[in-house]
């Protein structure tokens, strides 16, 4: 008994499936069959856009930079040799903890606070131990379009050097800095640029 009904049913289905496809079922069937996949795709795609949106950010997030500011004995000794007798009265601070400063904004000013006006730079080297060789407006760190930083000497009295160089950088000419580069100002201060 089960065998005879089975063949007619497929045939009946075949009879029904074959003629209507050109008329009614193609429009209906595709939506039915395609409907779920788009939803599934949307469900699968929905989590994907956030990663794509977050992907550009990770490169920017690690690009946070900071400056480590402190006395540098090697720079001080080299400066003393270059300066000659004028620097004989200078003494390297016995101990001064490094200061860590996040580099935020478009530029960071380096100098010493003016007591007359109270104007204070972002990196104020007038705080003890005060570096007497630093000008009030000595230099600035300027953020570049790609997120990196450059140093610009503000025509300071004693100049600014980079990575132990003997020749000061040209005033008002940006010098690109890399992770770990050292900016030397004043009598003993070194500002090390770090990419976090």
**Is 119 within a domain?**
yes
Using 50, 70 and 90 to split pLDDT, how confident is the model at 37?
A: low
Q: Are the beta carbons of 138 and 126 closer than 8 angstroms?
A: no
Domain containing 39 equals 8-55
The predicted-structure confidence for 162-187, as pLDDT tens digits, reads as follows 999 999 999 999 999 999 999 999 99
The DSSP call for residue 84 is G
Q: Is the pLDDT of residue 191 over 80?
A: yes
| Best CA proximity match to 123, nearest among 97, 102, 96, 95 | 102
Q: How crowded is residue 42: how many other Cβ atoms within 10 Å of its Cβ? A: 9
CATH for 98: 2.60.200.20
How many structural domains compose the chain? 2
CB atoms within 10 A of CB 43: 9
Percent of the chain with pLDDT over 70: 68
Has residue 87 got a pLDDT over 80? Answer: no
- Residues 83, 153: one domain? yes
Confidence (pTM): 0.67
Domain boundary among 55, 74, 90: 55
Residues 48 and 80 in one domain: no
* pLDDT tens string 11-20: 544 444 555 5
Query: CA-CA distances (angstroms) from residue 177 to 71, 158, 167, 192, 195?
Result: 20, 20, 16, 10, 10
Domain for residue 106, yes or no?
yes
Claim to verify: residue 115 and residue 156 sit in the same structural domain: yes
Closest CA to 66 of 99, 18, 25: 99
């Amino acid at each position: 008994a089960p065998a005879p009904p089975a063949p007619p049913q497929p045939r009946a289905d075949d009879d029904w499936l074959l003629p209507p496809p050109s008329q009614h079922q193609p429009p209906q069937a595709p939506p039915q069959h395609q409907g779920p996949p788009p939803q599934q795709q949307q469900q699968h795609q929905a989590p994907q856009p956030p990663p794509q949106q977050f992907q550009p950010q990770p490169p920017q997030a690690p690009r946070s930079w900071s400056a480590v500011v402190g006395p540098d004995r090697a720079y001080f000794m080299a400066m003393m040799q270059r300066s000659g007798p004028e620097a004989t009265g200078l003494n390297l601070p016995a101990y001064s903890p490094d200061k860590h400063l996040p580099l935020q904004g478009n530029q960071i000013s380096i100098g010493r606070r003016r007591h007359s006006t109270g104007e204070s730079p972002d990196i104020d080297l007038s705080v003890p131990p005060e570096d007497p060789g630093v000008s009030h407006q000595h230099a600035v760190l300027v953020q570049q379009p790609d997120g990196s930083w450059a140093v610009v000497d503000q025509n300071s009295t004693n100049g600014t050097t980079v990575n132990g160089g003997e020749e000061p950088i040209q005033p008002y000419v940006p010098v690109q800095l890399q992770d770990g580069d050292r900016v030397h100002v004043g009598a003993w201060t070194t500002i090390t640029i770090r990419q976090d």
